[in-house]
């Protein structure tokens, strides 16, 4: 099959057309730097600072009107809850170093974690007390597992029977590729039947939308890596004072006018020794090298010329992404003190996981609630107009616990799936994709280098994003 190239004129026509629809200004002259970085999230900002520290002239363009990417702190809500990028583990060396370098104060919030997980089980329309669960007819578990609440089996199994053990970096070693199967198949190998898998995993997925669409190798890495964080310092989970977004905000501020916002990239083209990015407003940025931190789910909407071939191109087109929407609520009165129930809820409905946020003056003070709609629940919420979704969430909580009636108000709402700059939250490796993509996903494509948490190997989340930016910067420095 012949490779289809996109002409510069074609890219510019696309950008001009988008700009015309949006009422933007006409095409402007190109802005040029040694290295152009797309994305002012943690990975792009880390790459920018590493390159600038090495004496390279950098330019950062960001589609949103803010820095941080998928790190978003809701500073209008008491306690500054996170809509993305939650806790900073003791092993997040790059994150902690950046906070220190850019003078962002960190606080240890580990003593508040127990309150977050104080929740009642809701199956159907029934609230099931923990004391009644072992012998409840809706309990599908067998043997010792019957005593476990539905959210316990996965972390327990992934701690006791994790095939990676403490060697979390083995997840990308070919010797581990036999585990690149579905979580459903892995659960069955541990003796769980479909009913148990449905409740223990599919009901409130941390990764994917079901146990069938996520690689057990990826999940094993997540838990092995997470256990490593706790081994380093068991009682340490940090957060930036004022919200974790303070860290990328400080990093972006330190770059000054080198960060340009509201620059939605619609095309990337390599010609000779130069790379150019065309933005929706008609502006064009040129550089000798380009570092792209755009999540693959969003990169699918950007024309790249020449196209990315082979397994890397397939990864861009097909890698999974976590469906996640959050509703943030503030209680006018502590209704949970009146109905005798725990503050949060773990449900098998569209609400998903309702978790208390204990970030008041004391560790037991609930400042807000975060409703985590994941997987299919997020997709269902995303089909509603935002105003209707907010009303629906309130109505569902009031229906399940009448003591909350009239006492909750929505103060924040974030759908990562409908965000055009992310099209979802963290990357999901589907069964077979680790084996197929892990050695290809971050390779340079001509003068284009890739970073972002989806390209990290040794870390997850915010630290993974930082790792990938560091790696991309080193690649660029070795090639110029």
pLDDT tens for 68-104 read 999 999 999 999 999 999 999 999 999 999 999 999 9
* pLDDT reading at 360 higher than 50: yes
Tell me if residue 397 falls in helix, strand or coil: helix
Reported as type and span, the H/E element at residue 213 is: none
φ, ψ at 106 (rounded to 5°):
-110, 150
CB 316 within 8 A of CB 300: yes
Q: Which residues of 226-349 form beta strands (DSSP E)?
A: 237-240, 259-260, 265-271, 274-279, 284-292, 303-305, 320-321, 324-331, 344-347
Residue 371, pLDDT score = 98
Q: What is the pTM of this model?
A: 0.92
Tokens matching residue 139: 């309990």
Residue 30, pLDDT score = 64
Residue 58, pLDDT score = 98
Place of tokens 């993509």: 437
* pLDDT reading at 13 higher than 60: no
Burial of 392 (0-12, 13-18, 19+ CB in 10 A): middle
* pLDDT reading at 25 higher than 50: no
* pLDDT reading at 123 higher than 60: yes
Residue 122, pLDDT score = 98
Tokens matching residue 282: 């008609």
Mean of the per-residue pLDDT values of the chain? 93
Tokens matching residue 404: 């909350």
Q: Dihedral, CA atoms, 309, 68, 352, 76, nearest 10 degrees?
A: -160
d(CA 279, CA 302): 10
Residue 362, pLDDT score = 86
Residue 480, pLDDT score = 87
Instruction: Give 201's DSSP letter.
Output: I
pLDDT tens for 271-311 read 889 999 999 999 999 999 999 999 999 999 999 999 999 99
d(CA 86, CA 82): 6
d(CA 84, CA 426): 10
d(CA 467, CA 201): 29
CATH topology of domain 8-69+242-319+429-479: FAD/NAD(P)-binding domain (3.50.50)
Confidence of residue 7 (pLDDT cuts 50, 70, 90): very low
Reported as type and span, the H/E element at residue 59 is: strand 58-61
Largest CA distance in the chain: 71
What phi-psi label fits residue 30: left (phi over 0), alpha (psi between -120 and 50 degrees) or beta? Answer: beta
With the C-alpha atoms ordered 327, 121, 384, 261, is the resulting torsion angle positive or negative?
A: positive
Q: What is the mean pLDDT of residues 209-225?
A: 97
Residue 5, pLDDT score = 30
Tell me if residue 240 falls in helix, strand or coil: strand
CB 471 within 8 A of CB 451: yes
């Amino acid at each position: 099959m012949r490779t289809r190239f996109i002409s510069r004129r074609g890219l510019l026509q696309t950008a001009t057309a988008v700009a015309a629809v949006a009422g933007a200004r006409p095409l402007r002259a190109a802005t040029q730097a040694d290295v152009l970085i797309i994305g002012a999230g943690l990975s792009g900002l880390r790459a920018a600072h590493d390159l600038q520290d090495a004496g390279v002239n950098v330019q950062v363009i960001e589609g949103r009107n803010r820095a941080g990417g998928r790190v978003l702190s809701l500073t209008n809500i008491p306690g500054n809850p996170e809509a993305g990028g939650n806790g900073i583990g003791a092993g997040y060396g790059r994150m902690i170093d950046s906070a220190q370098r850019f003078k962002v104060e960190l606080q240890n919030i580990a003593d508040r974690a127990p309150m977050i997980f104080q929740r009642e089980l809701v199956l159907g329309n029934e609230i099931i007390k923990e004391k009644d669960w072992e012998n409840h007819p809706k309990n599908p578990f067998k043997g010792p597992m019957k005593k476990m609440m539905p959210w316990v089996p996965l972390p327990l199994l992934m701690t006791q029977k994790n095939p990676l053990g403490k060697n979390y970096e083995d997840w990308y070693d070919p010797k581990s590729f036999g585990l690149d199967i579905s979580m459903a198949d892995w659960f069955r190998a541990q003796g769980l039947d479909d009913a148990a898998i449905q409740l223990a995993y599919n009901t409130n997925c941390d990764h994917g939308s079901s146990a069938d669409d996520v690689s057990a190798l990826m999940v094993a890495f997540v838990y092995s890596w997470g256990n490593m964080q706790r081994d380093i310092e068991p009682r340490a989970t940090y957060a930036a004072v004022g919200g974790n977004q303070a860290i990328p905000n400080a990093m972006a501020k330190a770059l000054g006018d080198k960060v340009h916002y509201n620059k939605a990239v619609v095309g990337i083209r390599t010609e000779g020794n130069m790379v150019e990015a065309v933005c929706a407003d008609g502006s064009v940025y040129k550089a000798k090298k380009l570092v792209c931190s755009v999540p693959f789910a969003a990169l699918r909407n950007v024309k790249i010329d020449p196209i990315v071939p082979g397994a890397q191109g397939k990864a861009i087109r097909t890698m999974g992404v976590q469906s996640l929407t959050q509703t943030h609520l503030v209680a006018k009165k502590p209704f949970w003190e009146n109905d005798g129930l725990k503050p949060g809820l773990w449900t098998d409905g569209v609400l998903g996981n309702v978790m208390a946020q204990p970030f008041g003056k004391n560790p037991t003070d609930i400042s807000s609630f975060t409703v985590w709609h994941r997987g299919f629940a997020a997709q269902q919420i995303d089909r509603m107009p935002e105003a209707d979704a907010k009303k629906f969430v309130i109505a569902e909580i009031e229906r399940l616990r009448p003591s909350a009636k009239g006492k909750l108000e929505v103060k924040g709402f974030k759908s990562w799936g409908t965000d055009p700059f992310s099209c979802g939250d963290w990357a999901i490796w589907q069964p077979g994709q680790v084996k197929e993509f892990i050695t290809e996903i971050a390779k340079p494509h001509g003068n284009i280098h890739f970073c972002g948490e989806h390209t990290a190997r040794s870390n997850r989340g915010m630290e993974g994003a930082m790792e990938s930016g560091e790696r991309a910067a080193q690649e660029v420095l070795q090639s110029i």
